[in-house]
Amino acid sequence: MTAATEVREPTRESAPPVRSGRRIVRWWPAAALLALLAAPYSALPLPGLLAGPVGSAGSLQLLALCLVFGALATGYDLLLGRTGLLSFGHALYFAAGSYATNTFMTEAGLPFVPSAVLGVLFGIALSALLGSVSLRVSGIAFSMVTLAFAQAGSILVERDPGGFTGGEEGRAIPADKLPAALAGIGNTVNLYWIALAYLVVTLAVVQWAVRSPTGRVWEGIKENERRVEVLGLRPYGFKLTAFVLAGALAAVGGIVHLLLTGGATPQTTTSDFTLSLLVMVVLGGSGSRWGPLIGGVLYTWADQRLGDLAGSGTVAGLPSVLRVPLSQPLFLLGTLFVVVVYALPGGVVRLPARLRGRKGSPVSRR
């Protein structure tokens, strides 16, 4: 056998391996959806992950919150990861849907469904109005303008003008205005279905928008806005479309959150709430299909469960040098975030690719 023949003939080492596992990986969203659909009917205990069986009211409440914030982070990523807009005021539109719906029920005496529709329309109108002003500037100036609007909204809610917002205490949702199927702990499973539906709709809308011609322009704006202008397109209109669409999805999420928590709370109006969304997106992987969802779910779960850990007897029995930091949930969340950012650049969603890269590297084959 000649040397030329050796070059032409493929060897077993040079032949690309058949990765049958890729087909399985492609179907993981369907498997996850089936697991979520089966969750209310499961009595499986998950110690450490959930406080009770999967199908219990407390566990379904936590799962529903995870789904809501996973969807909310996915909608927020339309601005940050898809269009390159760093907004510090996204919480305002989440709160707008919640407070507007509650106000229409309590003050106007409307049933829940018409109030929810009006709440979404109010969130869309508010995002269109404030977005049209904020997008007149770009870069850090845009971020500061959105932050100013968010701070103004937060102060307005805390001042409780006309008694509409309830001030620092928030305002509970009137149970008599809700359909019977949505009131009470016994109907937590119905609220879980609503949260799951909100997640599915958000994923579908975001995926459709990203793949549309408008979504391709968003990608161009993120990469080089000047180049988009040279092509004869006005970035302002496309950015406003992303802003309003993200605001509308946030307003719907605020209504679902209103049902889950039983009221509108001022914590959802603060800039800290938007910073939490930013952490969710970065944690999961900005600009990816599943990253913001994964980051939102992980952050919400950790926020709830680490709070329980911080107040547990195990932490209380530790020496003060460990007990003091570990008794602060924000310290635990911050430490977790720093570790993930340094260990997994690009977010948790990039982890499988990094592992495949290490397995396929020359060092690993040796």
Distance of CA 254 to the CA centre of its chain: 12
Q: Say yes or no to pLDDT of 322 above 70.
A: no
| Most confidently modeled range among 38-52, 181-195, 207-221 | 207-221
Q: Is residue 96 part of a domain?
A: yes
Q: Is residue 11 part of a domain?
A: no
Please state the three-class secondary structure of the chain as a single string: CCHHHHHHCCCCCCCCCCCCHHHHHHCHHHHHHHHHHHHHHCCCECCCCCCCECCCHHHHHHHHHHHHHHHHHHHHHHHHCCCCCCCCCCHHHHHHHHHHHHHHHHCCCCCHHHHHHHHHHHHHHHHHHHHHHHCCCCCHHHHHHHHHHHHHHHHHHHHCHHHCCCHHHCEECCHHHCCHHHCCHHHHHHHHHHHHHHHHHHHHHHHHHHHCHHHHHHHHHHHCHHHHHHCCCCHHHHHHHHHHHHHHHHHHHHHHHHHHHCEECHHHHCHHHHHHHHHHHHHHCCCCCCHHHHHHHHHHHHHHHHHHHHCCHHHHCCCHHHHHHHCCHHHHHHHHHHHHHHHCCCCHHHHHHHHHHHHCCHHHHC
Q: Is residue 14 part of a domain?
A: no
For 163-207, the pLDDT digits (tens) are: 888 888 888 887 788 888 888 788 899 999 999 999 999 999 999
Q: Is residue 266 part of a domain?
A: yes
Q: Is residue 26 part of a domain?
A: no
Q: Is residue 39 part of a domain?
A: no
Question: pLDDT band at residue 263, thresholds of 50, 70 and 90?
Answer: confident
pLDDT score at 32: 87
Q: What percentage of residues in the chain have a pLDDT greater than 90?
A: 47
Question: pLDDT band at residue 341, thresholds of 50, 70 and 90?
Answer: confident
The residue whose two tokens read 């990469």 is: 223
**Stretch 23-35: mean pLDDT:** 77
Domain count, the chain: 1
Q: Is residue 43 part of a domain?
A: no
Of 177 and 128, more confident: 128
Beta strands 263-264 and 171-172: pairing type? antiparallel
Of 173 and 11, more confident: 173
Q: Residue 96 maps to which CATH number?
A: 1.10.3470
**Stretch 65-81: mean pLDDT:** 95
Q: Say yes or no to pLDDT of 1 above 80.
A: no
Closest CA to 280 of 336, 361, 324, 220: 336
Q: Say yes or no to pLDDT of 271 above 80.
A: no
| Residue 161, domain extent | 54-365
Q: Say yes or no to pLDDT of 255 above 70.
A: yes
pLDDT score at 25: 58
pLDDT score at 162: 79
Q: Is residue 22 part of a domain?
A: no
pLDDT score at 366: 45
Q: What is the pTM of this model?
A: 0.86
pLDDT score at 362: 53
Please state the three-class secondary structure of 291-330 as a single string: HHHHHHHHHHHHHHHHHHHHCCHHHHCCCHHHHHHHCCHH
